């Protein structure tokens, strides 16, 4: 099951009793289910193109939008977990890394494959990591619906 339990298995959480073994297992199942659903959705929305040129015309934009939507969905999912904040972020990054690998293997032509690890590092460690911080901050502030907040 990909060792999902390690994502939440930090010694601090176990010592403080934040998560039981049952919670760890339930969270792992939820994350695996989310990942499987995301892969299925990606495959359904992006049928196999006839050529690599056709594939790459809009593929990067679609992949980026898909990962952003998945990031938001995953954050909402892990917010229900009783894990510590850093463990939740690690869980989101782990799922999105696996999802990126799944999408990227189908995205890039063979001559770009040497650059996939560099692209992955930038996308996951820089862009998605900062996006998680941004989304979590917005949720905590309740700042998503500023127009509604300003209404009397």
Q: Which of 133, 141, 137 is nearest to 149 (CA)?
A: 141
Comparing 77 with 64, the larger pLDDT belongs to 77
pLDDT band at 12 (very low <50, low <70, confident <90, very high): very low
Q: Tell which wins on pLDDT, 85 or 69.
A: 69
For 84: left if phi > 0, alpha if psi spans -120 to 50, otherwise beta; the answer is beta
Q: Is the pLDDT of residue 147 over 90?
A: no
Specify the DSSP class assigned to residue 48: P
pLDDT in tens, 75-116: 888 888 877 777 788 888 888 999 988 887 776 667 777 888
The model's pTM is 0.74
Q: Give the mean model confidence (pLDDT) for residues 3-13.
A: 48
Tokens of 94: 């782990």
Over the stretch 19-54, which tens digit does the pLDDT of each residue have? 666 777 788 888 888 999 999 999 888 766 666 555
Average pLDDT over residues 8-13: 48
pLDDT, position 41: 92
Residue 40: its pLDDT value, please? 92
Q: What token pair was written down for 11?
A: 């010694």
Specify burial of residue 128 (Cβ count, 10 A radius: 0-12, 13-18, 19+): buried
Q: 């996951």: which residue's tokens?
A: 124
Least Cα distance to 7 among 93, 67, 129, 135 occurs for 93
């Amino acid at each position: 099951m990909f060792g999902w339990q390690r994502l939440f298995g930090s010694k601090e959480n176990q010592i403080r009793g934040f998560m039981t073994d049952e919670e760890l297992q339930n969270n792992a199942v939820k994350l695996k289910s989310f990942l499987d659903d995301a892969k299925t959705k990606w495959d359904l929305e992006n049928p196999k193109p006839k050529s690599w040129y056709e594939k790459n015309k809009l593929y990067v934009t679609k992949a980026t939008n898909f990962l952003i939507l998945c990031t938001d969905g995953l954050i909402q999912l892990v917010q229900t977990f009783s894990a510590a904040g850093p463990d939740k972020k690690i869980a989101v990054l782990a799922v999105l890394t696996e999802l990126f690998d799944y999408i990227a293997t189908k995205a890039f032509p063979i001559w770009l494959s040497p650059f996939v690890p560099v692209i992955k590092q930038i996308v996951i460690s820089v862009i998605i990591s900062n996006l998680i911080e941004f989304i979590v901050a917005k949720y905590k502030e309740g700042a998503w619906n500023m127009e509604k907040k300003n209404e009397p």
